Structure 1
């Protein structure tokens, strides 16, 4: 089934009369950025509505004919859920143009190029036997570096011995462009020697090449640089490109963008240097500023904060000013709640007292305020597994569930599984089969993904056929679930049944396109592992499927995983040297992580510590900043 869209039947909106869709208005700088048809760099802090801004810009370009049919907009994100969220937002705002908006991850885009056009690589780089995805861990890089030192020219060995495994891939392999012709002369530096040896042993080897996504990115850049026709076709297809969370762009990714879209395309990047927390993965310092300079982009700064109340925005500005002395104060557009401190530091005598007090406090607040458990988040810098047992025990004792988004299910984190589109399709089908009425939103989302899997999205006839097929599948699955209650069916049986109803082969193609770092077997295995764990505690399928998502639970996760999320109340646990042991290695990135975590709160942020010496330790600066912001410290015993 292929999309058949008559572009001539879609009326255009005059640019001068266009208005935002689904929201009341845009701030003045956002209006300017939306209408700008050149390269644009949007600096947007936490709560600024970055996804909504990109959706409105897409709507403007598509509806006004600034991006005329059949040309398309390419949106690149760094996480699958962010790419899927933006695609849904655009589809909801301008459904008549949604088929001309392509939203995917950076890895999916570069891998798709390599898979499709690998034969066009320069002769020295063409693969004879394909490739296998082999993810590189610091341990692998350490072994490699140790092995090549004795083989290196004597004058290079000392420098090679200084190389660190954790930065070898992102900051050396990722930052080195590949030559079209393999060099015949000897390496002049230790860096050249290491890079050449890496590609020789991992890629230019007998049999299938071994690639990770840093290497795929480098090959994709070489591909478009050495094949002008491919580069021209990309620029022609996508006259407008969006890139979200640009502060986390790696050296390899920046180089790729420069090769492909530096001319002939209007590129819009959205980012915030204060939230740069991926430096360890090779993120480019001051990426937005560098983009503005290299691409001649006009910068726009958004000031509105739709998430956090005014006192929290003031606190955020104190931390933001430490990261950027020129930071502009944000303007809160959220309604402030009265009756509680917006921010506080709670000090405890020990970890058990901390867990008991907070669990009781959350349970009491839920009982008196009407808030849901999902309105609360427990964040920490790291070592989430250490917090889970004591908080789970005490929350459950008060009738409140806890979901550890950092937990491993199969070979995925629970957060990644719950955000995965394929897993969402499987769970949506199970929900619809179990509860045939009252799930209109689940039906819409499941039907949309089902249509995408079967290549039907954008073709009204094909979409109706896909909807009918989904209806038949839910009916068949409903009968099967009735005949196979949780006591009689294994999680593997359930997953196998659902995969058969959706169609395993089209689903494999869909996963390969949307999640290139994974495969269907990995997702299905993680899905089965999660279902197995919750079914053990469930009385029926409805209970099992609800437990699978655990939407009605307090969330426990790392500050890194909290990026782009928001909660009414956030408890930032572990304000001590144990949690922040690496602070003095990279203070600015550490403060950025701190900033990301505290800016998840909409109405209330509580920092906790069980250390009597934290104020004078490695993170003394955190306490100084909180004191400067007027955050009170309360001894909770």
Structure 2
């Protein structure tokens, strides 16, 4: 424990003034808005470090963090662990909204009666089955119902947490905000909401308009803004600033933070989509082969309908031998904790020396155990893995080194217990969901082994560290890349709500750290087997391209 005045940001980081103020606030709630790359997640990690190390979050009180994606929740938890150590981080709970709601339901399930009553072994599925199953969309409403009707449940939640962190708060829906109000409004719990209204792209899912102003009024929160962008080079920052002038004039970045000529922006215009695909594939191959850019630092973003727009580009990349990852097909299996467990286990069994995999494996198995329990589990796992390695050696002698890799995984799961695996994520309390993840993990590794016969190399590709990523703008939120290609900057794909489209365009361009390429085509031929509406003749989205025009290097 240290004095508040002695606290400095962990890892020697320097926070800008408003971020430092937010990290050290001890009384009021906070409404913190910041642009992409401004270090919102890092500020939350530093705030957790301050609260825990100074005793501002007094033992046994805990900190609750709520994110919108499983990988974002896990990333924040990992950052806090790295900042203040495992012991203190054990009092930091990081969930998605739905995971938090499910924990409330599981803890106070007996309070649900009548048509809402649930059996102890209830599942989550596509529809509602009396007592036995609820739909995913039922989680938040049922949690609200429990807290509204039971002072015991409300007080239990309130007495558990002295601080609540809300990440990507601009995407909060009416129901999710109602859950927060029922749980914490009118209490001494400090809420810290962070986000960027310019990145609000969840309107289709019910994200609230003016959520930060509403939150600031309801919770008497201090509004703060973080300006500094740690991600993009100056030329790209100036492009982003032009979009910000339209989206939120009050958040325009100061000119003294935008000086310099680093960064490259290009606008490439093509007659046909085939010309576009070949040129983009050639450029990608050149960057990788001639400039030694890591493939994982290159992303190709499409507003929507990825399969319809990227099929020719993917074929062109295949012809040139450029490795790529289609995010729509993978369905984020690599972000699942159970998949991580399987990959780390196999790395330990089949690798010669895999200390990182071993450390991750143990941290997932025994994250909060005392020393004696940790030592006991470590001995048991170590003994089991040694036995499995002997079996692998024998299989190698027989010329079939990887013949039993999945059987080995099954044996491992049986040894540690299925409940241990289920504890990795609240979603796995539905055994159906856990079985799906394990099945998809097996299928994904099997696919990799079809093209890469070395299991360890296949496992290294599981997270596609060696692949160009092709994904929608929505899936790119929270990610960053050296080079970003945004395809089809055309009216025909940016249809519907233009405020949301403009925010989506901003999200896309702000993923780039150093290089940004915008592409358009005058004609896009109908994709194979697509019977729906398709406009062959295209028109460039002139507003979006105009933001980039003053900063272009050259044209194609």
Structure 1 length as normaliser, TM-score?
0.79
Structure 1 pair 43–512 and aligned structure 2 pair: CA distance change class (3 A): closer
- Aligned ranges for residues 106-125 of structure 1 at < 5 Å? 106-121=97-112, 125=116
**Which residues of structure 2 form unaligned runs of 5+?**
525-534
Rounded Cα–Cα distance in structure 1 between residues aligned with 2:177 and 2:80: 25
Q: Is the 8 A contact 2:64 2:165 kept in 1?
A: yes
In structure 1, the partner of 2:296 is 374
Out of 14, 18, 22, the position equivalent to 1:29 is 18
In structure 2, the partner of 1:261 is 184
Out of 449, 455, 475, the position equivalent to 2:386 is 475
Structure 1 pair 591–518 and aligned structure 2 pair: CA distance change class (3 A): farther
Structure 1 pair 346–480 and aligned structure 2 pair: CA distance change class (3 A): farther
In structure 2, the partner of 1:611 is 522
Structure 1 pair 36–488 and aligned structure 2 pair: CA distance change class (3 A): closer
In structure 2, the partner of 1:449 is 364
Cα distance, 1:367 vs. partner? Answer: 3.1
Q: Does 1:567 align with 2:481?
A: yes
Cα distance, 1:560 vs. partner? Answer: 0.5
Q: Secondary structure at the match of 1:590?
A: helix
Q: Secondary structure at the match of 2:249?
A: coil
In structure 2, the partner of 1:192 is none
Rounded Cα–Cα distance in structure 2 between residues aligned with 1:618 and 1:365: 26
Q: Is the 8 A contact 1:304 1:330 kept in 2?
A: no
Deviates more, 1:83-92 or 1:357-366: 357-366
In structure 2, the partner of 1:309 is 233
In structure 2, the partner of 1:529 is 443
- Aligned ranges for residues 530-545 of structure 1 at < 5 Å? 530-545=444-459
Q: Does 1:221 align with 2:211?
A: no
Deviates more, 1:310-319 or 1:380-389: 380-389
Q: Secondary structure at the match of 1:48?
A: coil
Structure 1 pair 132–80 and aligned structure 2 pair: CA distance change class (3 A): same
Q: Secondary structure at the match of 1:326?
A: helix
- Aligned ranges for residues 479-558 of structure 1 at < 5 Å? 479-482=390-393, 483=395, 489=403, 493=407, 495-512=409-426, 519-558=433-472
Cα distance, 1:579 vs. partner? Answer: 2.7
Residue-by-residue CA offset, 1:442-463 (whole Å, 9 max, x unaligned): 22222211224xxxx2422222
Out of 114, 131, 134, the position equivalent to 1:208 is 131
Cα distance, 1:633 vs. partner? Answer: 6.6
Out of 43, 48, 51, the position equivalent to 1:61 is 51
- Aligned ranges for residues 174-323 of structure 1 at < 5 Å? 202=128, 207-208=130-131, 210-264=133-187, 265-323=189-247
Q: Secondary structure at the match of 2:182?
A: helix
In structure 1, the partner of 2:528 is none
In structure 2, the partner of 1:440 is 355
Rounded Cα–Cα distance in structure 2 between residues aligned with 1:449 and 1:548: 18
In structure 2, the partner of 1:81 is 71
In structure 2, the partner of 1:362 is 284
Structure 1 pair 272–211 and aligned structure 2 pair: CA distance change class (3 A): same
Structure 2 length as normaliser, TM-score?
0.90
Q: Is the 8 A contact 1:75 1:243 kept in 2?
A: yes
Deviates more, 1:393-402 or 1:105-114: 393-402
In structure 1, the partner of 2:6 is 17
Out of 428, 434, 437, the position equivalent to 2:344 is 428
In structure 2, the partner of 1:157 is none
Rounded Cα–Cα distance in structure 1 between residues aligned with 2:552 and 2:347: 44
Deviates more, 1:545-554 or 1:313-322: 545-554
Q: Is the 8 A contact 1:43 1:300 kept in 2?
A: yes
Residue-by-residue CA offset, 1:344-385 (whole Å, 9 max, x unaligned): 111122222222222222222223333211110111112222
Structure 1 pair 263–481 and aligned structure 2 pair: CA distance change class (3 A): farther
Q: Is the 8 A contact 1:80 1:514 kept in 2?
A: no
In structure 2, the partner of 1:152 is none
Rounded Cα–Cα distance in structure 1 between residues aligned with 2:540 and 2:273: 20
Cα distance, 1:215 vs. partner? Answer: 2.0
**Which residues of structure 1 form unaligned runs of 5+?**
1-11, 137-201
Q: Secondary structure at the match of 2:445?
A: helix
Q: Is the 8 A contact 2:521 2:538 kept in 1?
A: no
The RMSD of aligned alpha carbons is: 2.8
Structure 1 pair 65–281 and aligned structure 2 pair: CA distance change class (3 A): same
Q: Secondary structure at the match of 1:369?
A: coil
Q: Secondary structure at the match of 1:557?
A: strand
Structure 1 pair 334–561 and aligned structure 2 pair: CA distance change class (3 A): farther
Q: Secondary structure at the match of 1:348?
A: strand
Structure 1 pair 539–125 and aligned structure 2 pair: CA distance change class (3 A): closer
Cα distance, 1:335 vs. partner? Answer: 11
Cα distance, 1:431 vs. partner? Answer: 1.3
Structure 1 pair 129–433 and aligned structure 2 pair: CA distance change class (3 A): closer
Q: Secondary structure at the match of 1:73?
A: strand
Residue-by-residue CA offset, 1:583-629 (whole Å, 9 max, x unaligned): 2x2111111111111110000110111126999948332233333x4
Q: Is the 8 A contact 2:520 2:540 kept in 1?
A: no
Q: Secondary structure at the match of 1:400?
A: coil
Cα distance, 1:17 vs. partner? Answer: 1.3
Rounded Cα–Cα distance in structure 2 between residues aligned with 1:388 and 1:623: 20
Q: Secondary structure at the match of 1:349?
A: strand
Residue-by-residue CA offset, 1:67-98 (whole Å, 9 max, x unaligned): 11111111111111111111111111111311
Rounded Cα–Cα distance in structure 2 between residues aligned with 1:370 and 1:62: 43
Cα distance, 1:466 vs. partner? Answer: 2.8
Rounded Cα–Cα distance in structure 1 between residues aligned with 2:287 and 2:340: 31
Rounded Cα–Cα distance in structure 1 between residues aligned with 2:320 and 2:429: 39
Structure 1 pair 129–530 and aligned structure 2 pair: CA distance change class (3 A): closer
Q: Secondary structure at the match of 1:305?
A: coil
Q: Is the 8 A contact 1:214 1:252 kept in 2?
A: no
Q: Is the 8 A contact 1:235 1:260 kept in 2?
A: yes
Q: Secondary structure at the match of 2:403?
A: coil
